[in-house]
Amino acid sequence: MPDQAGGSTATESRREELLRIAADLFASKGFRNTTVRDIADAAGILSGSLYHHFDSKESMVDELMRTFQAELFAAYDEILASSDDARTKLERAVRLSFDTIERRGAEVAIFQNEAATLGASERFGYLAERNRQSRDVWVTLLTEGVQSGALRPDLDITLTYRFIRDTVWVAVRWYRPGGPHTATQVADQYLTILLDGIAKGTPHA
């Protein structure tokens, strides 16, 4: 029994290692440009050995996307269901985004770069649904903010959602863990810009 348990743990660990290698390659080279042999070479194994764990690179990216999205939306649900005030919920969502970029940068990059291409396949149809769910999360947070008085009443919810989406998630293209700024520091600065603006003093009449 101990040997079987140890073997199972080792297999799971190897599987996770292969997924991480694949994720980095999909993020840097692109899904279409990454071959099974590329993944196997990076892992130091023969291509045939990879098939002991996954039947295709599509299965690998599918598992990466499903796991990443499930984790992210579970965290979104926790924020939405919390008793925090509207501004705090919005701040938490922004911080969650940068925390996700730091911990799951490859998966975020894959989703940003490949969702449309992958979504053309029925197997990955859920990516479009997740995109809609993400929009609903942010629109809900912004609407609560306006209704509670935490955000200005003339806010265009749709444009603000698009601004946050395009500004925050695109940071995966330049943010690198271990760089000059931590994810928390970047989130702090983004929140300052988002909620307090960048102009000094009172606007001119």
pTM of the model: 0.87
pLDDT for res 7: 54
Give the domain ranges of the chain: 1-55, 56-205
**pLDDT tier at 12 (50, 70, 90 boundaries)?**
confident
**pLDDT tier at 2 (50, 70, 90 boundaries)?**
very low
What does the mean pLDDT of the chain come to? 92
* Mean pLDDT calculated for residue range 14-29: 95
CA-based nearest residue to 18, from 2, 42, 37: 42
CATH number for the domain formed by residue range(s) 1-55: 1.10.10.60
**Topology alike, domains 1-55 and 56-205:** no
Give pLDDT tens digits for 158-201: 999 999 999 999 999 999 999 999 999 999 999 999 999 888 76
Q: Which CATH superfamily hosts domain 56-205? A: Tetracycline Repressor, domain 2 (1.10.357.10)
